[in-house]
Structures are given as C-alpha cells and as structure tokens.
Amino acid sequence: MKPKIFFISFLLILMVSGRLWAQSTVTAEMYAEIISALTAQENQPLSFGRFSPEATGGMIQIRPDGVRQAQGAVIPTGAEHTPASFYVTGHLKAQFEVILPEGPVMLYREGGSESMTVRDFIVDENNGIWILDDGTKVVNLGATLEVGSLEENPTGMYAGTYSIIFLYY
C-alpha cells in the first residue's frame, strides 16, 4: 500500500509542477522585406502669379487644383499662377504621409528687405494618408499669401523656400 501511495504522490507532484518528460521543438519562420526608398521631387513651384496690392493689400490663395482667389484690395492679373506639384515614387501600394510647414514662411523681395508671409499650406485629395497605387503619386500643394500695401510691398520679384516632408506611413 505504501508503494502505491508513494507512486500516486510522485505523479501528483509531477503534474502540479508541470514537468513531464515530453518536449517538442519547433523551427519557426520569420521574414523581413526591404522596399525601395520613398522619393519626391518638385515638378512645379508654387507661384502666386502677378498682382497689384493697391492701397491696403490683402490675401491671395492658390488652391491645390490651381484656382486662385484674392481678398481685400489685391487685384490679380495674368494667368501665371500655379500650385506646387510633387512627383512621389516608392514601393507599390505603400502608404505615405505629407507633413506640411508648421508655421508661416516668408517671401523676400529680391534686392530689398521687404517680405510677405505664406501660410495655410494645403495638399489636394486629403490631409492624411496617401497610397502609391502604382508606385507613384502626384501631390499638389497650395497656400495663402498675405500681401501688404504697395508701400509695404513695392513692385518686384519676391521669392523664398519652404520644406515639406514625405514620410512612409
């Protein structure tokens, strides 16, 4: 009887401790895929075109679809305005995000110290996640230009730069 109790106790201890003398080893697989780098290049610069600010100035907005709207005393002339356009390439069906300038950006008069402020950058389609359906995408960008009076912003060419980020998502 004692050997039987001893054997049952031994089995109970093994079951409680979780140690049985059977084991299994599995070789599992793992993967990594390196994809092509995301690239972007400017196809067309952002141009607010030609205009006259008159006595009090105002604003000019270029939408991503190319439509130009003026507010205040600003009088647009000619049709030389364009949204910025960027050609983005990367891995087929990959997603990316466009990060726009956080604050205003300045345009400075060539040969002078006068400036105008560019703000409210916007891209077409959405402000969220983009998909490289065929490995490419064209992204158009617009913004709003704050224009002072003719005294504050005399005639001349104004230029500046800005940075946007195209980021795999």
Domains and CATH numbers, the chain: 35-168 (2.60.40)
Find, among 120, 162, 113, 109, the residue nearest to 145 by Cα: 120
Q: What is the pLDDT of residue 95?
A: 93
Cβ(156)–Cβ(107) under 8 Å? no
Q: Which residue has the tokens 């969220």?
A: 128
Tokens matching residue 127? 């402000």
Q: What is the pLDDT of residue 18?
A: 57
Mean pLDDT of 52-81: 93
Find the radius of gyration of the CA atoms of the chain.
Answer: 32
Average pLDDT, the chain: 89
Confidence of residue 89 (pLDDT cuts 50, 70, 90): very high
Alpha-carbon span 46 to 72, nearest angstrom? 21
Mean pLDDT of 151-163: 95
Sign of CA dihedral 128, 117, 86, 34: negative
Q: How far apart are the first and last CA of the chain?
A: 70
Confidence of residue 94 (pLDDT cuts 50, 70, 90): very high
Q: What is the pLDDT of residue 169?
A: 84
Find, among 78, 72, 149, 67, the residue nearest to 116 by Cα: 149
Q: What is the pLDDT of residue 48?
A: 97
**145: exposed, middle or buried (Cβ count in 10 Å: 0-12, 13-18, 19+):** buried
Mean pLDDT of 58-62: 97
